[in-house]
A and B are shown apart, each in its own frame.
Chain A
Amino acid sequence: MAKFENAHDIKVIVATDCGSTTTKAILIEFVNGEYRLMSRGEAPTTVEAPFEDVTMGVLNAVGELEELSGRKLLDEDGKFISPANGKNGTDVYISTSSAGGGLQMMVAGVVRSMTAESAERAALGAGAIVMDVIASNDKRLPHQQIERIRQLRPDMLLLSGGIDGGTTTHVVELAELISAADPRPRLGSSYQLPIIYAGNKDAAKLVSDVLADKVDLRTVDNLRPVLELENLAPAREEIHELFMEHVMAQAPGYKKLMSWADAPIMPTPGAVGLIIQTIADQYGIEAVGVDIGGATTDVFSVFRPDGTNGEFNRTVSANLGMSYSISNVFAEATLPMVMRWVPFEMDERDLRNRVKNKMIRPTTIPQSMEELIFEQAIAKEALRLAFVQHKSFATVLKGVQQQRTIADAFEQSSSGATIVNMMTLDMLIGSGGVLSHAPRRQQSALMMMDAFMPEGITRLAVDSIFMMPQLGVLTEVQPKAATEVFEKDCLIHLGTCIAPAGQAKKAGPVMKYTIEMPDGPVSGTLDYLELKLFKLGVQDNGLPIKVKATFEPERGFDIGGGKGNAVTREIYGGVVGIVLDGRGRPFDLSSLDEKERVSYLRKWMTEMDIYPKEAMA
């Protein structure tokens, strides 16, 4: 493959994502001064028998790209033509992978809420599925911990514990437990299990004495060198290194795939995190991304608790999803929470059977409108629960001593408080079948609003074809191409939600608004429990139309400038438009009786044209 010293010389890019079932390929070209998505292709992934060679699926997906684009990408031997020359070849080929179950890790640390949690953050951020977190104080007896390590067969283990210069005993004790368990890697028995040690540097030699003979031990800088600081990058880099070296190398065909690629192959969720971080940093915004699948839901976020530096977090809710895990969503959320989003009555026994039948036959789709409404109600709860988990994980560092003033004492904030702030959140991006393929885009917008309950002014978007993984790895090679394609081709801009935070005891106005629409200003008053939609679309290039707007919340309501303070700023349109959400925050329907609840649901759905009128009768 061609190597480019200057990223600007890269004009043609092919990127693939090898998922568990489908390999997706995209072709990006530099045309008329900008990078744009030219075509996309997909083919079944070929990691499992009878093929057992991932590159076959890649070649099939790239073959589809060739047919659709007319660009010849492969030579007679099935190798990429590089560099690009006219209508032939590509300058760069890159890939991500989650085939074969992705990257499965176990992490261990001394204190559950401190070093173990930092280790978990490092593993999740690198794109791993964390199978279990072992900590000296996790309330399990040592023999139970050993039993657990023995049962699980992770791809690798991350061990941390202690600040530099602190006590060494606890982390060495953990190393002894791991040694006694004699853990085996998931794939292949021909190599030793990789263990990354990222704990107290003074214990590195002692840990090595205990473990070096039994496992493939790598030592990196402490991920919590002092209590006040997390240093996750060295551990994450080592995870990626080992992912390539061990996990990928064991999967059939990956050695060949790695030799084709111009950048290291990245775990799919790690790449999604990277594009969200890149976009958030480029515009200095706070962003949340969510990917809801059949079995799991991933949430990514970048928040800036100190106002400048972006802090990235990723969580995987392993048993919240829309098919394999749908029954678990139902069990965790409970029936009344799901049914609060459904504007008609359904029989509980029948519903329970329907949910279980979806679980055992996960590929079925809603045929009737009633089924769609019910499925979207479950999706709202799955997203809500995944976000609750994310909020409790994305926190300021725990265990850090804080200096308090008198004012802080009244706020009752503590170490370990969440950094997720819905009022300062700028952008919410959804992806996954139920959001990306909803029959009406308004449905995606309302699902995200009902699940995440954004406050203040928040842009909403969905990933049209789940291109985020490929664009994530592209940021490592040509960041400009990644961000341009992300905004213009990957995202479907839905619009902006404007939701004053606060609650009212009775009906009445919550906010006055003036929006400078292209065909003249629109002004009015938003009432409590009211939703209003204003159409404001997108430009020809796919980017949203921007307009100026002023919002004047009532006393007790906040739109971002403090309670009762007006805010004037530019807001973005989209395929749905501008949604004014007067339902209050925190959102609480419990004061309404059953008849009122159904009546309001119907009003909101009608205003946003969510479902056909007859479906809500």
Chain B
Amino acid sequence: MGHAYTPGLKVTEQQLVEKRRILPLKGDVIVKVGDQVKPDDVVARTVLPGNVVPINIANKLGIPPEDIDMVMLKKPGDPIKKGEEIALSKTLFIFKNYCHATIDGTIESISSITGQVLQRGEPSPVEVKAYLQGEVTEVIPNEGVVVKCTGSFVQGIFGIGGETNGPLHVATQDNTVILNEKLITEDMAGKIIVGGSRVTANGLKKAIKAGVRGIVVGGFDDQDLRDFLGYDIGVAITGSEDTTTTLVVTEGFGEINMAHKTFELLKHHEGEMACINGATQIRAGVIRPEVVVPKIDADKTEDAGSGEIVGLTIGSAIRVIRHPYFGRLGAVTDLPSPLHVLESESKARVLEVEFDGGERATVPRANVEMIED
């Protein structure tokens, strides 16, 4: 129960960031330990076996399955071209019935039990990019690499879209401003733009049209998300959406100011290259969206983000993450041990908080998140 609070999302000026870049199947690693890589550099590649497309030759030619070997013009392993004759049945010496390949590839197997022939399509290449700008520190033979860099790191709460990169550009005056279409201009193409409390639906549409690569913002409205995607997200597993602009939401759904520290950190790095990923998975093995600003000349041994995690204490800076105080920031003033009966009549461990502005309240510990220094 001592840990009945949500550890805060990470926002650090400098820490070591390490990413495993692994192929979906075994293949070739094309970099070596010590190589300096850029985000779009390919570090490993492989070929995925092609799709299997069955074709029932016995049915098509009207023969018993056990006679299939007598009509096949190809054997397992033979290459085939779409439209090519792969089986022939002759009846009454004059009528010839052909069966044609339906894809380019090879013959995988021929079954005399079912009369089925499996055709294997052409393999398709798969490449894994470095994602970060940094150094290859480990090679996992035939599988991939580990890329490491030192940089600023911001963890978001929810995102859509996959990995991308571009120079940071702050589009709002401060962390409270709504990022609407008026604030988005053509010259933001190829950039990662930073907004304030919420990006509007029209703002997002204009950003996509302008060729913006990514948006980092405090909040986003669920209704707008549904309109944008065309469907409702049922469970928070994202990252593979069909969008050219990746979105990283740092605080939550609705209109909620980006944490001051996050906004200032991103503003401080305006113009620098940032690598972002919207992929989110809120299940066991949680994945959060992120923004990494690699530092090219940083001292690689320094890791400001690896400090010991300390639990809630009096004075801890917190954010409330549920109604009725959703989004408000403050400091812990007391941590009473006995269970407290809430307005909902549930019993829970609580804390006393003084909000910015002086107002005080009692909040369940489960409903706050630490703002880490």
Contact = CB atoms under 8 A, between A and B. Distances in A.
A565 interface: no
B252 interface: yes
Contacts of A371: 322-324, 344
B240 to A, nearest CB: 13
A176 interface: yes
Nearest to A177: B54
Interface string B291-303: 0000000000000
Contact of B158 (A181, A319, A360): A360
Contacts of A357: 252-254, 321-322, 326
A330 B235 CA distance: 11
B234 interface: yes
Interface stretch (B67-75, B109-117, B167-175, B176-184): B109-117
A292 B364 CA distance: 23
A173 B116 contact: yes
A359 B280 CA distance: 12
A353 interface: yes
A365 B345 CA distance: 11
A356 B322 CA distance: 11
A359 B236 contact: yes
A25 interface: no
Given A361-B322, A365-B364, A372 B6 contact: no
Nearest to B252: A357
A228 interface: no
B295 to A, nearest CB: 29
Contacts of B114: 169, 172-173, 176
A180 B54 CA distance: 10
Contacts of B221: 349, 352-353
A352 B321 contact: no
B344 A325 contact: no
Interface string B197-235: 000000000000000000000000111011000001111
Nearest to B280: A360
A365 B6 CA distance: 12
Given A363-B6, A367-B344, A172 B52 contact: no
Contacts of A181: 52
B111 A367 contact: no
Nearest to B157: A360
A168 B65 CA distance: 12
For A168, A354, A364, the residue with the greatest tally of chain B CB atoms inside 10 Å of its CB is A364
Nearest to B367: A364
Given A349-B221, A360-B252, A365-B366, A172 B111 contact: yes
Nearest to A174: B114
Contacts of A348: 223
Interface residues of B, number: 50
A439 B222 contact: no
Contacts of A331: 232, 234
B137 to A, nearest CB: 20
- Counting chain A residues whose Cβ lies within 8 A of the other chain, the interface size class is 35 or more
B66 to A, nearest CB: 12
Contacts of A168: 113
Interface in B270-313: 280, 282-284
A291 B364 CA distance: 25
A377 to B, nearest CB: 14
Interface string A478-494: 00000000000000000
B94 to A, nearest CB: 31
A6 interface: no
Contacts of B108: 180
Interface in A366-382: 366-372
B157 to A, nearest CB: 5
Given A143-B53, A349-B221, A372-B346, 16 more contacts: A20-B284, A142-B54, A168-B113, A176-B111, A176-B118, A180-B109, A206-B113, A325-B234, A327-B234, A327-B236, A352-B222, A363-B366, A364-B321, A367-B323, A367-B367, A370-B323
Interface of B: 6, 51-54, 65, 108-109, 111, 113-114, 116, 118, 120, 157-158, 221-223, 225-226, 232-236, 252-254, 280, 282-284, 321-324, 326, 342-348, 363-364, 366-367, 369
10 contacts: A143-B52, A172-B113, A176-B116, A180-B120, A327-B233, A355-B222, A356-B233, A360-B252, A365-B346, A371-B322
